[in-house]
Each structure stands twice: as structure tokens, then as C-alpha cells.
Structure 1
Amino acid sequence: MNKQKLAEKIIKEMGGKENILQSWHCITRLRFNVISNDKVNIDKIRALDGVLGAQFKSGQFQVIIGNQVAEVFAAVSQLTGSDGSNHPSSSKRQKGNVIERIFDVISGIFTPILPAIVGAGLLKGLLALFIALQLLSNQSSTYEILHFISDAPFHFLPFLIAFSAAKKFNTDASLSVALAGILMYPKIMEYAAGTEVDSLSFLGLPIPMNSYASSVIPIILGVWLLSYIHKGADKIVPRSLRIIFVPLLTLVVTAPLTLLFIAPLGSYAGIYLDAFFSGLFDVAGPFAGLLMGGLMPLIVITGMHYAFFPGSFASFDKYGYDIMLLPMNFVANLAQAGATLGVLIKTKNKKMKQLSFSTFIPAMFGITEPAIYGVTMKLKKPFYASLVGGAVGGAIFGTLVVKTTAFTVPGIMSIPTYIMSGTNNLLYALIGVTASFTVSLIMTLLLGFKDEENPLQPAAHDTTTEKDITIDILSPITGKVMPLESVPDATFAEGLVGKGLAIEPKDGVVVAPFSGKVTTIAPTSHAIGITSDDGVELLIHIGLETVNLNGEGFTLNVQVDDDIKLGDKLLTFDIETIKKQDVSIITPIIVTNSAHFLDVIATSKKRVTACDDKLVMLIK
């Protein structure tokens, strides 16, 4: 589906843009905070072409799109006018329970900054690979520069988090980033690195000199505090003086409180959080790994994996590696890939085979939501197989204490991040993910799943007739037939809009080739979209580049949402007027939801007459 249309329908079924407080996206999902959950028509959104699933989780409304989520989010942002972070009705937000609100905050903060973190993490892994293969020396200046690039996003993580948290807490971004700068002020970092100064006195109170590089919780809590102080200052300072005194009061009050209480508290929280999970793996590594690896898909689906982010970053900062979130995600993701490959091998259904192939590749690279929602969870038993495979891989990882040295997407591209000089860590990682992949694949093949018969090969006892599995579409125009590939417009010729053919019209009349409804009309009247009672979505695009005529020569006979019957006149156009403008009258006729059908077969006739000759046949 057209991204703009999909975005429009999602927003409409969410109760309109006035019901959206905030919007952002991760690798596969649109994420929203809404004012009223009751206004969201979740069933209609799930049924939209282009949507893999939708759910309320962790205080958010999530729409699973897949690999094209960035394009859809761009259309959503354009329609809403902003990301919704400054919505005037933010005070009406449904709060949910405490746990959901915490997950919502962590997700909303980390998701927008993941590109910087993932990119830098992958570079760290590649550097380790280059050194292991002796392609680069860790004593060279080239290595040092690349190390600077890969390490900067992690070292200065408080700045990234401050900017993102400012949006999440609906407060001033510049003051939030300034607060991060205060926490990482060079003199404080210098004192923290040495032993000569443990603390500085401020109004008789000791401020501990701690290093907050790579820290997470201190700046999140600091920006949260700043959001309230900024709002309070904005209320008490006269309007004419706000531009000067609101920032002053906000920083003078927030910074000392953060340095005195909030940041140290956050630092200790991170330390204890890391100690808890590290201790869990030390005491019961195999069991903890089995649980984490097996349950990770469920943890990701609910959004609970964001709760582990602070602990992972604390571990990276303290030890230089993570043994929990990313390694367990790695085995779980490869288990999903294995189960999806099992479906690809075993299914007889052509559409499921296509879907499993298209979702298998992203799953290998760590993007598993399309595979989960489109294949394994839909078929159930393959999903169970993936849980078992993840549990096996997780148990191996927990037993061998497999570590990753950088934060990146847990797929095959993250393998270099498991290289640790002088250890067997990479070998252990390969053993674990191979086991999780193989177990999931074999279990999927053994367990099987309920597979639909291929409609092209009905069972012997099946009484389905050819008419039941095909839909014939008559021509809406009289004229000469051309294959779509010969149309001098790449968008149509390459099938980007859908399958079909083109006609060089003999007259200027477009009639309804079936009974149905008018769904779209171009503002310049040069194109019309109609949907049949059977669910066929047909686009009739009169001429090429005719949008530039601004409606000249076109006369509409119908409006959007009008019901139509076979033979009804939809619109007329003046062929001579179009030709005088040196514009082609070649008319593409496209089945825009071609993906819903096994095939779209064009007529072999050279010429067709409107409403008399069959133009295309669709196979269900």
C-alpha cells in the first residue's frame, strides 16, 4: 500500500491526530502515546494492508510495520505535523500502571537514539575483526581514529539520552543537553579519575565527584526533574521575563539537585542493577540463560526488553561487555530465523512460502518482528519451536558465559562483537547460535503446522471450481493493449505500484469494469481508484505525467465513496487536449493490491472493448 495512504488510515483509526500525544518508531514498529485508548480501532488497523500487527503494550500503542517502518513514520509525522511531543492535551494522557509507564519512558528515550548506538557498536565489532585478522594494528593512528568514532556515542551517551529524554518528558532540549554537559564537565571527570578530590562542598553539602560517562539512569532522572522545575519556573516568572529567568532558574535549581542527589542515586541504581543480573548469571548461568533465551521473543513483544538497557550499558561501562540482553537476543533471533526457514521448506502454500522467505533474511540480521507476526506466531507451532531453540542456545550461552563487546543489532552482523582476544568467546557464541538455529529448524520440520492447500493445486476431493479461485476483470477502456513493461514510466513498468497492463485509448471514456465503490480520485482528476465487491483494488491512471494538466480535459462523473455498477461511466477525457500538451495518453491499469493474489494474468488480446473484453484474471 502507498505509505501516505497507510499513514492516513492508521491515524484515522487511532481517533485522528488529536488523539496522538507522541509518536516515534523503532526498527519495525510505529509507537504512539495516545490520549484515549478507547478511540483506537485496533481491529481495523490490524486489517490494513501493510500492517503486520497492532497492540497496546507498556503504555504504548504499537503498530508493527516491518522493514518499511521509517517510510510510514515519515508519512505519519507529515500528517500529524510533529512527533506529538508537545501536544496541548498531554495532561490528559492515560497513565496506566507504574510498570507500563516505566517501560514506556525507557522505550521512548532509547528508541530514537538506537541508530547512533547500533552504528557505533557495529564499528567496534568490525575493529575487533580487523585486528583478529591482522588487517589493522591497534597501535596505528587509523585504528585510533576509528576507535574515537566508535567509542564517542557510548562515552557521551548522556548527551544522546538528554536530547531524547527532553522529547519524552516534553521539556526544553537545550537545557537538558546542558545538564548532560554539567554531569560530564571535564573538571568533574578529572576529579573522578583521580584520588585528590572526592567531593566538593556546595552550600555546606558535599557533591561527590563521580564519572557519569556512558551512564544512563543519572541523566534520565536529571531530565525528569528538570521537566518539573522548568514547568514550575515557567508558571511563576512573568511572561516578559521568561526568556531570561526561566532557563536561569531551571539550571541553577536542577543542576545542584542532580549533582547532589539524583545523579549519585542513579549511579548506584545502575551499579546494583548490573550486580543483580551479573550475580544471577554467576549463580545460575545455564538456568538463567535457558529462561532468558527461551522467553526473549515474549519479552521483546511486550517491550520489556527496554528494562534491561540500563543494566547492559552499566555492564559495558564497568566491564566492557554484556552477558545478558544482547547475547540472549542473539540466540533468540537466530532461533526465529531457523523456525522461519523451517516454514519456508515445509509449507505448500505459495503466499506463505513467499512471506517466510521475505522475513527469513531480516531475521538473520536481527529484525525478527516480521517473522514473528507474519509467520511463526501465526502458525503457532513454529513459534513454540523458536522458543525451544532460543532456550537451548541461551543455556549454552549461560553455561559458557558468552560475552558481546558492543551494543548493536543482535544478528549475524554482530558476530565480530564476540571476538575477545585470548579467549574462545567467539567459538562459544557460534556454537550457541548454531544450536538455537538448528534446533528451531528441526523442531519446526518435525512438529509441522496447519498448512493451507495451495489454491493452484486443489486436493482430489476438493470441489472448488475455477470460478471460485479466479476473478475476471473486464476492461474499463476501449483501445490497444500494451504490456506494463513497455510503459515509458519506471514506476509503472517495474511493477512498483502493482501488476497490470496499459491501454492506448481509442476514445475518452472510462467505465466501471465491475460493481464496487470509488475509493480514491486524484485532485487533478487524471486518476481514479476503485474497489470491487470481491476486494480487487484497481487504479486507472489516464496518461503519463497528466498530473501537470491540472485537470484540463478531464470530467468526473463520480465522487469518492460512490457505489458503482458494471458499465457506469466514471470519467471522460479529451484525447486531443491531452495530445496538444505533448503528454502521452498511454493509460496504466493496475491491480494495486496484487500481493493479495497468487497471480495477476493479463489478457493476450491486442485490442479490447470496454465492458466486453476480459482485461486481467486474478488467481486467489
Structure 2
Amino acid sequence: MDKQKLAAKIIKEMGGKENIIQNWHCITRLRFNVTSNNEVNIDNIKALDGVLGAQFQSGQFQVIIGNQVAEVHAEISNILGTGENNQLPSAKKQNGNIIERIFDVISGIFTPILPAIVGGGLLKGLLALFIAVNLLSEQSSTYEILHFISDAPFHFLPFLIAFSAAKKFNTDASLSVALAGILMYPKIMEYAAGTEVDSLSFLGLPIPMNSYASSVIPIILGVWLLSYIYKGADKIVPRSLRIIFVPLLSLVITAPFMLMFIAPLGSYAGIYLDTFFSGMFDIAGPIAGLLMGGLMPLIVITGMHYAFFPGTFASFDKYGYDIMLLPMNFVANLAQAGATLGVLLKTKNKKMKQLSFSTFIPALFGITEPAIYGVTMKLKKPFYASLIGGAVGGGIYGTFAVKTTAFTVPGIMSIPTYIFSGNNLLYALIGVIASFSVALLVTVLLGFEDEDSPLEEKTSSNDKAIIEKDVTINIPSPITGKVMPLESVPDQTFADGLVGKGLAIEPVGDTVYAPFSGKVTTVVPSKHAIGITSDDGVELLIHVGLETVNLNGEGFALNVEVDDDIQLGDKLLTFDLHALKKQNVSIITPIIITNSPHFLDVIATSKKQVTACDDKLIMLIK
């Protein structure tokens, strides 16, 4: 194909350069954000020579090209004149659902800083345990140093959020962190702690002296405002003076406005969020707890739990504890562990028994995604049992207003964070034991559709004759997981076989292995997909997840490069399954024979579960 002409025709049929906001590509398709979907003539694009298909999906317009997508994308970028981020500077922003955008912002800001938050929170819990068993004294210098370490991520939370928000809002990181420093300036903190100075005057306008330690909303809104002020200043200041005056104008305009209006508003909003949720539990504690505990897995799966972060931190800052997000997560996670143990005890399938055991242990420690996706949700009834168990535990927590004193992973290691006044720890233990036990018992009583043994390959007499003639190529599975027919993949490009024949796997592991000896032929910058060719000439595409190209490589690590020789069992790439699920992207992994027309037939396995490099996945007939 003439790639330059094809690129020009695609741009023309998309409504021209002015209708394109951003363009990039994955291993098989061009991807675009457009200003108006109505300007795109999708039928004409589908009819172009060199285009395998076109569709609107996940807020993008996608043009399926195949293995020459990189060359076509390069020609499109040359015509559009896009920069490093493949975005047209003059393009309008794409409008989307406001709720989805809010969740996207909150998730994008908090996910990168969770290690610091979780690390500090877990250390807080351990300190509480050490004091409770008299291993440490609150008056000792060792305790004080460890307290400094555990408390720093929370006290200086605005700095962490500022750095992460700068990336999310695509603005200057150093100026964003400087805004956090202004909020946390010692003199402001000193005034806020005392009673002599309630506010200072700036150009006749009052600036309230509030403490913004551990705050969330003020700095998020401040960095959001900075992103617009910075871009505006960058446009009006002459290029030769930008290095001096753009930072100056950004700080001088943003900081006073933030201190006068945004920061106080954000602080009050955090307080109101906390007051609302605390009030909800005060008025209808058992019912609120029952609903939250039962629905928490669904909330986490959809990523909506990030919306509760600001209220949680506001509660920690004001009261020193949380009664909703973390406690409800705790009972829900232990319910998942109980349901998984129920599967372990009841299943007769050897592979499911191994899988449930390997996911049961992480679930106890609060890492439930492997259990949810690999065991309970897959078998359905155990997942329902976990919801029931979480609701029972949540009802108990809501009744007794169980509190946690630190932000940490809600698993058994978080138990020390429930050491609080009165019988808080006792009620916490009763709640999680109840949620665990109920989920376990309901799983055993309800049962689930089990398999006595793995399904065997179904081959006809004709297939067996072909096998005897040695005119077949058998491809083992490159990934461990659940097998799905290709037509059930929620992506029409793969489901319709536009890229080639094959199937899909819902992985339970984190590694893609080489299923044969051969060579690496294609990798993509976002690391989510890889193309390999066997010594027999089989061209195989392994595409980890759907829409994972949008993660820009986050959560993926390539172990090979283009033209590397590979052997059966070599690690090709690894991925963080937990992180991908937190990003709310599908982990369904299409495995495609991209040169399917070169073979008489492509026969997929009939097994429902496969193990990497052990089980046969695809049989090719020459």
C-alpha cells in the first residue's frame, strides 16, 4: 500500500486535521481522539485499501491497519505535525462524562502515591501493636523516630499529591510542589495553630489562616488552576522571557487565589464530605454498613472507591480515624478470603484447588483481585457468597462504629490499626470473623459448577488422521488463565477476526512466555502487546488486555526486544495484574495467528483453563 496516500485519505475522511485532537497507535490499529464524531465518515474509511476495519470504542476512533500500523501512523503524524505527545496544540478538548472524568482524575492522582501512603499506614499500625504489647514506649526516642517516619507521608500529603497531580493535569511539577509548600508554609501553620491571627490581608482581601496538613482537595484544585494559568502565561509571554516570567506569573497569580478561595473551599468540602458520611453512619449505621460492606467489591472493581479518598483523609485529619472506606474494605476483603477458602475445600478440580489456594493467601492480606477474577467471580456463586459475608461484617461494623486509625492495606496486617478506645478492636475482630465465616459457609452450602477434571481436547477422526500425517503445528499457551472464544471478546476488531483467527485468555498470572522457538518481530512502546514468529513461520500476536494502550506502558515490563531469538518458555513480558485491574481496564488477552490465511485451518483448544507452556492452545493445519 502507499502509506502516505492512505494516511492522507484517512485524515480527509475523519473531517480533516481540525477535527483531530490526538493520534497514537497500538500494535494493530490507529487511535484518535476527535472533536466531533459526526465529522468522521466511517464507511468511506472502511472501504480504503489497506484498512481492515474502523470503529468508535472507549471514547476513541480506531482504524484497524494490521502489522503495518506503525508506518501508517508515522505518515499521519507527519501530515498532522503532531508533537511528542501526538497531540495537536490547537485542537479542542474532548468532552466526556463529568462523573467519569472526576473518577479518572482522582484515580490518576492517588494511584502513583499509594506506596508511600500504605507504607506509612502499615508502620502506624505496627507501632500501635508494639505499644499494646509493651515492646515500645511512647516516651522512647525509638518510638518517636518511627512515628516521624510513619506520619510524614500523611502530614506532608499535599506534596505527594502535588507531584502526582502535576502529571495528571500536564503542568509543571516544580511549581505544583511549590504550591504545596505554600499551603504547608511554617508561618501559616503557626497562625492556624494559634488564635491570635485568623487571617491576613492581601490587596484588601482576607486570606484565612488554615492548616492544610494531610489535606487533599485544596492542593488538587490548586494544581488544576495552575495548569490553566501556566498555559495562559506561556502563550502571552515572549519566548525569550518565558524561563523567567512564566514561573513568576504562575506563582503570583495562582498562589493568592488558591489561599483566598480554592484552599478554604477545598478544606470545607472535605469537612462536609466527612460530615455527610459520618452522619450517614450515625443515623443508619447498621444499614449503611451492610450496604457498603456488601457492595464494596463492586465499588472497587469499578474504581469508584477513589471518590471516597478525600473524605477518608479528611476524617483522619479531623478525628484521627476512619469508619467507612477502610473498615468496609477490611470486611469485604476477608469475605473474599472466606469464599476462596470455601472453593478450596469444595472443589474437586486439581487446577482450581491450586488456584484457590494461591489466591487465598493474598486475599487474607488484603490483595483480593486474584481471588475475585481467578476464583469467586469466575464461579459466580462464591462471589455472591462474598457479597453476603461482606454485608454481614459491614452491618456489624456499622452497628458498633468500628474505627481504624491509619491508612493501610485492609487485610489481617491492618488489625493493629483497630486498637482504639473501648472495645473497638474486639468489635473489629468479631466483624471480620463473621464476614469470613459467613462467606465460607455460604460458598460451601450454595456450591458452584465444578469440573471433575480438566476438559480434554475434542478431535474428530479427520483431525486425528491429519495429526498422524504430521501436517499440524501445535502452539502451547503463552499465558496461564481462563480460555475464551475469540468471538466473545468485547472488541469487534478481534471478535470479527479482522486481525486473524485465535482465541483469548483471561490471565491469572503475570507473565507471557514464548510458546515456541523463533524470533521477536514486533513490540510497541506501550509494552502491552508483542508479535513473535516461530521457526515454522507462525506469526503470533499476544495482546495483553483491551485498551491497555492507554496506560502508556504503566504496569508492563518487556523482557525482549525486536529481532531477539526466543526459545520455548522464555519470558517475553510481565504485567502487574493488580495494577491493571485498578486502572479499570479489561485484562482479556487476545492471542491471534496474524497469518491465519497461510494455514488450512486454525483450531482452538476446548479446554476452559490452560497453563502456560504446558497446555496446547492452538493447532494449525498446514
Aligned with residue 26 of structure 2, among 4, 7, 12? 12
Q: TM-score, normalised by structure 1?
A: 0.66
RMSD (Å) for aligned C-alpha atoms: 4.3
Letter in 1 for 2:26: K
Query: Residue deviations 1:190-239, cap 9 Å, x none?
Result: 00000111110100111110000000111111111111111111111111
Asked if the contact 1:380–1:449 (Cα under 8 Å) also holds between the matched residues in 2, the reply is yes
Distance in 2, matches of 1:163 and 1:414, equals: 27
Structure 1 residues 481-560: aligned runs within 5 Å:
517-519=538-540, 526-527=565-566
- Please state whether the residue corresponding to 2:538 is helix, strand or coil: strand
Look up the match of 2:222.
Answer: 222
Q: Name the CA shift for 1:601/1:198 in 2 (closer, same or farther; >3 Å).
A: closer
Asked if the contact 2:33–2:60 (Cα under 8 Å) also holds between the matched residues in 1, the reply is no
Look up the match of 1:318.
Answer: 318
Q: CA deviation at 1:455?
A: 3.1
Aligned: 1:446 with 2:445: yes
Asked if the contact 1:199–1:208 (Cα under 8 Å) also holds between the matched residues in 2, the reply is yes
Look up the match of 2:482.
Answer: none
Distance in 1, matches of 2:84 and 2:364, equals: 34
Look up the match of 2:549.
Answer: none
- Please state whether the residue corresponding to 2:26 is helix, strand or coil: helix
Look up the match of 2:408.
Answer: 408
Look up the match of 1:586.
Answer: none
Distance in 1, matches of 2:456 and 2:85, equals: 55
Letter in 2 for 1:596: V
Distance in 1, matches of 2:331 and 2:301, equals: 16
Query: Residue deviations 1:550-605, cap 9 Å, x none?
Result: xxxxxxxxx99598789xxxxxxxxxxxxxxxxxxxxxxxxxx9982499499xxx
Asked if the contact 1:331–1:436 (Cα under 8 Å) also holds between the matched residues in 2, the reply is yes
Distance in 1, matches of 2:570 and 2:273, equals: 60
Query: Residue deviations 1:364-402, cap 9 Å, x none?
Result: 111112221222112111111111000000000111111
Look up the match of 1:425.
Answer: 424
Distance in 2, matches of 1:330 and 1:102, equals: 25
Look up the match of 2:213.
Answer: 213
Aligned: 1:352 with 2:352: yes
Look up the match of 2:59.
Answer: 37
Number of residue pairs matched by the alignment:
461
Q: Name the CA shift for 1:539/1:475 in 2 (closer, same or farther; >3 Å).
A: farther
- Please state whether the residue corresponding to 2:426 is helix, strand or coil: helix
Letter in 1 for 2:59: N
Query: Residue deviations 1:154-207, cap 9 Å, x none?
Result: 000000001101111110010000001011110010000001111101001111
Distance in 1, matches of 2:608 and 2:565, equals: 22
Distance in 2, matches of 1:540 and 1:315, equals: 49
Aligned: 1:249 with 2:228: no
Q: Name the CA shift for 1:565/1:278 in 2 (closer, same or farther; >3 Å).
A: closer
Look up the match of 2:234.
Answer: 234
Distance in 1, matches of 2:378 and 2:570, equals: 35
Query: Residue deviations 1:51-89, cap 9 Å, x none?
Result: xxxxxxxxxxxxxxxxxxxxxxxxxxxxxxxxx995635
- Please state whether the residue corresponding to 1:200 is helix, strand or coil: strand
Letter in 1 for 2:192: A
Distance in 1, matches of 2:139 and 2:278, equals: 32
Structure 2 unaligned segments of length 5 or more: list them.
1-23, 35-55, 67-82, 473-510, 518-533, 542-559, 572-592, 601-606
- Please state whether the residue corresponding to 1:348 is helix, strand or coil: coil
Asked if the contact 1:162–1:223 (Cα under 8 Å) also holds between the matched residues in 2, the reply is yes
Look up the match of 2:433.
Answer: 434
Query: Residue deviations 1:428-473, cap 9 Å, x none?
Result: 1111011101101110111111223313799xxx9999x99xx999
Distance in 1, matches of 2:222 and 2:612, equals: 55
Asked if the contact 2:296–2:329 (Cα under 8 Å) also holds between the matched residues in 1, the reply is yes
Look up the match of 1:280.
Answer: 280
Asked if the contact 2:514–2:566 (Cα under 8 Å) also holds between the matched residues in 1, the reply is no
Q: Name the CA shift for 1:236/1:523 in 2 (closer, same or farther; >3 Å).
A: closer
Distance in 1, matches of 2:516 and 2:101, equals: 48
Look up the match of 1:26.
Answer: none
Q: CA deviation at 1:94?
A: 4.4
Distance in 1, matches of 2:163 and 2:611, equals: 46
Q: Name the CA shift for 1:513/1:159 in 2 (closer, same or farther; >3 Å).
A: closer
Structure 1 unaligned segments of length 5 or more: list them.
1-9, 21-33, 45-83, 477-494, 502-511, 529-537, 542-558, 567-592, 603-616
Letter in 1 for 2:205: L
Letter in 1 for 2:424: N
Distance in 2, matches of 1:36 and 1:601, equals: 33
Letter in 2 for 1:271: I
Distance in 1, matches of 2:85 and 2:412, equals: 39
Q: CA deviation at 1:524?
A: 5.9
Q: Name the CA shift for 1:526/1:35 in 2 (closer, same or farther; >3 Å).
A: closer
Distance in 2, matches of 1:117 and 1:12, equals: 33
- Please state whether the residue corresponding to 1:171 is helix, strand or coil: coil
Q: Name the CA shift for 1:327/1:103 in 2 (closer, same or farther; >3 Å).
A: same
Q: Name the CA shift for 1:302/1:437 in 2 (closer, same or farther; >3 Å).
A: same
Q: Name the CA shift for 1:221/1:565 in 2 (closer, same or farther; >3 Å).
A: closer
Structure 1 residues 15-164: aligned runs within 5 Å:
15=29, 37-39=59-61, 88-89=87-88, 94-164=94-164
Letter in 2 for 1:12: C
Letter in 1 for 2:435: S
Look up the match of 2:479.
Answer: none
Greater CA drift, 516-525 or 281-290: 516-525
Letter in 2 for 1:123: L
Aligned: 1:188 with 2:188: yes
Query: Residue deviations 1:336-377, cap 9 Å, x none?
Result: 111111112222223322322222222111111222122211
Look up the match of 2:384.
Answer: 384
Distance in 1, matches of 2:371 and 2:57, equals: 31
Distance in 2, matches of 1:540 and 1:104, equals: 36
Distance in 2, matches of 1:522 and 1:182, equals: 45
Q: Name the CA shift for 1:464/1:278 in 2 (closer, same or farther; >3 Å).
A: farther
- Please state whether the residue corresponding to 1:378 is helix, strand or coil: helix
Look up the match of 1:269.
Answer: 269
Distance in 1, matches of 2:441 and 2:318, equals: 39
Distance in 2, matches of 1:40 and 1:368, equals: 33
Distance in 1, matches of 2:564 and 2:219, equals: 54
- Please state whether the residue corresponding to 2:448 is helix, strand or coil: coil
Asked if the contact 2:289–2:397 (Cα under 8 Å) also holds between the matched residues in 1, the reply is yes
Q: Name the CA shift for 1:185/1:377 in 2 (closer, same or farther; >3 Å).
A: same
Distance in 1, matches of 2:361 and 2:460, equals: 35
Letter in 1 for 2:437: T
Distance in 1, matches of 2:599 and 2:459, equals: 30
Distance in 2, matches of 1:325 and 1:245, equals: 44
Asked if the contact 1:11–1:17 (Cα under 8 Å) also holds between the matched residues in 2, the reply is yes
Letter in 1 for 2:170: N
Q: Name the CA shift for 1:93/1:366 in 2 (closer, same or farther; >3 Å).
A: farther
Query: Residue deviations 1:137-168, cap 9 Å, x none?
Result: 01000000000000011000000001101111
Distance in 1, matches of 2:326 and 2:469, equals: 51
Letter in 2 for 1:103: F
Q: Name the CA shift for 1:228/1:600 in 2 (closer, same or farther; >3 Å).
A: closer
Letter in 2 for 1:307: A
Asked if the contact 2:391–2:435 (Cα under 8 Å) also holds between the matched residues in 1, the reply is yes
Letter in 2 for 1:430: L
Distance in 2, matches of 1:254 and 1:313, equals: 24
Query: Residue deviations 1:509-551, cap 9 Å, x none?
Result: xxx998x8244998667546xxxxxxxxx5699xxxxxxxxxx
Look up the match of 2:584.
Answer: none
Q: Name the CA shift for 1:499/1:258 in 2 (closer, same or farther; >3 Å).
A: closer
Q: Name the CA shift for 1:86/1:424 in 2 (closer, same or farther; >3 Å).
A: farther
Look up the match of 1:167.
Answer: 167
Q: TM-score, normalised by structure 2?
A: 0.66
